[in-house]
Amino acid sequence: MKKSTAAHSEPASQAEATITGSEALLRSLLQEGVECVFGYPGGSVLYIYDAMAGNPEFKHVLTRHEQGAIHAADGYARSTGKVGVCIATSGPGATNLITGIATAYMDSVPLVIITGNVPTAVMGTDAFQEADIFSMTMPITKHNYLVLDANDLPRIVREAFHIANTGRKGPVLIDIPKDVSNQTIRYEPSPSLNLRGYDPCPEPATAEIDRLIRAIAESERPVLIAGGGVVYANAAEELLAFANITQVPVAATLLGLGGFPGSHSLFLGMAGHHGTYAANTAIQNADLVISIGSRFDDRVTMKVDGFAPKARRIAHIDIDPAEIGKNVKTDIACVGDIKAVLQYANTIAVPAPCGRWLEEVQTNKRNYPLRYTDSDTELKPQFVIEMIHEATEGEAIVTTDVGQHQMWSAQFYKFKHPRSLISSGGLGTMGFGLPSAIGAQIGNPDRIVVSVNGDGGMQMCAQELAICAIHQIPVKIVVINNRVLGMVRQQQELMYESRYSQIDLAGSPDFVKLAEAYGVKGLRASNKAEAILAWQEAMRTPGPVLVEFVVSKDENVYPMVLAGTPLNQMLLGDFE
């Protein structure tokens, strides 16, 4: 590490231990096992970036926008289970992170966000590039720090990583004024943690788990809803064992996809707004609903007072006690780490007496599968996702942007493994797809990473194509181009009497030329034969490739439950 200029006059032994706050920050990050930081420099973080110079241990990826940096850190975190890290300067650099912070907060993603701030002497004076990011982000972070003494940095970094990645995970912000980043200190690694009052992983109450097992033993029509918490708790194996023992069918939320094998006979598909007929009907007819790591959000429940009307009991397993009973009245509350809860449950679990029920849900799966009207003359987006699934054998990490393509990916890609679907669920952040794929690929260099985007969201962070080209990050980038804001158009068609307003994306760039301008190979397909050949070429090509699939703008996502209606009132499109 470089020594600060303030230490040059010290004796050699003392100079070795005297470093700047910036150098202490980097040492602390390396101590936490940080493999890569995504960021964008500016005046208030230049001491931090100066400390990076000549430090071969510290890997930093320079994105082309701060939002790209935080989404990349997010994709890295979701796909690896490790804490993602990003850095931005004060003022506009920090405020450009806010959407990404909110995205991670809504989806419980562990991030440590480092922002610079103006020197402490001018804080509060509306100094150049000053913004109170500490206050701005309090509602969308798990915890915040404003560092006023560089001696606190080793402790703060250790606490931040611990808070971000324990209990209900989430983003933690560390705001460092410029003078603090240059303050010289006698560096000492952080001692053991001592966070009084922070107990993120309470021991599960076995009495409640016992009640749950008794309820399953009495249930003739049970159903499980597996949420993102199953994935974040690394509890997929325990959930699979639990379902196999109890023989309870499983539906998944968007973020829960991959937490239970998509090809398993007990799997009913995704539940909710664009859920399958089998999943939604099972929830509405169940006598026992068990949510595991799902917070009963409005896209799963739809009309809350019409949710699971036949359920005699609703059980909820979650690490966050604040979620119990928040949206749906809960009869059995199992608070604790999902992995630990299921490990205990599996020691006492028994099969549910639900043979007839399994026949019923399997009949619904057979009679009402996900389907679409195929065409030999125009390219259907559902076919594209099915083709990608077949070509990758379901083994890819798939990141999505937000819109119709997101739902088609959730429906038609059969996820085998946890941490294989990376998607903005709670906030629905357009622009998330490409940078999150970059982070996922850096975190998983031996996996195939496919980024599925719409033509709208692709233009929000398209500048990150430069990173793919410069570092030869081998992401396969899919653009489902229907030349329209597809999900908005669909809602306007079905809910606003086809009064289309401000959805036309005509005039968007030629995506193939855009990719080539950045140094990324670009391909285009507008029918099945072209699509198959283009995707084969993309898969054969080392390095990044963008493939634009030109599809009809009139294609809708079905099934669909309209806002304000219960889950059993599904629109099935052409198969009504």
- The active-site residue out of 129, 343, 362, 569 is 129
Whose structure tokens read 């409005």?
Answer: 298
Q: Which amino acid appears at position 540 of this protein?
A: R
Cα 229 from Cα 293, distance rounded (Å): 4
- Give the DSSP letter of residue 399: E
Instruction: Give yes or no: 530 in active site.
Output: no
Contact between 311 and 243 under an 8 Å Cβ cutoff? The reply is no
- The active-site residue out of 178, 414, 521, 528 is 178
Instruction: Give yes or no: 203 in active site.
Output: no
Q: Which helix (H) or strand (E) holds 143?
A: strand 143-146
Instruction: Give yes or no: 129 in active site.
Output: yes
Nearest to 290 by CA among 261, 310, 311: 311
Instruction: Give yes or no: 66 in active site.
Output: yes
Tokens read off for 207: 């009495």
- Tell me, rounded to whole angstroms, the distance of Cα 438 from its chain centroid: 13
Nearest to 272 by CA among 254, 248, 249: 254
Instruction: Give yes or no: 570 in active site.
Output: no
- The active-site residue out of 128, 138, 390, 575 is 128
Q: Which helix (H) or strand (E) holds 212?
A: helix 206-218
Strand 250-252 to 267-270 pairing: parallel
**3 state SS of 172:** strand
Tokens read off for 380: 């259907």
Q: Measure the CA angle with vertex 373, ends 367 and 376; round to 5°.
A: 140
- The active-site residue out of 52, 106, 458, 487 is 487
Across 170-209, b (16+ Cβ under 10 Å) vs e yields: bbbbbbbbbbbbbbbbebeebeeeeeeeeebeeebeeebb
- Give the DSSP letter of residue 559: S
Instruction: Please write down the long-range contacts of 483-492, taking CB distance under 8 Å and 24 or more positions apart.
Output: 483/455, 483/508, 483/553, 484/553, 485/403, 485/456, 486/403, 486/404, 486/405, 486/454, 486/456, 486/553, 486/555, 487/402, 487/403, 487/404, 487/407, 487/557, 489/553, 490/404, 490/556, 490/557, 490/560
Contact between 283 and 567 under an 8 Å Cβ cutoff? The reply is yes
- The active-site residue out of 1, 23, 38, 66 is 66
Contact between 402 and 425 under an 8 Å Cβ cutoff? The reply is no
Cα 129 from Cα 111, distance rounded (Å): 24
Cα 337 from Cα 315, distance rounded (Å): 15
Tell me the catalytic residues: 66, 128-129, 178, 487
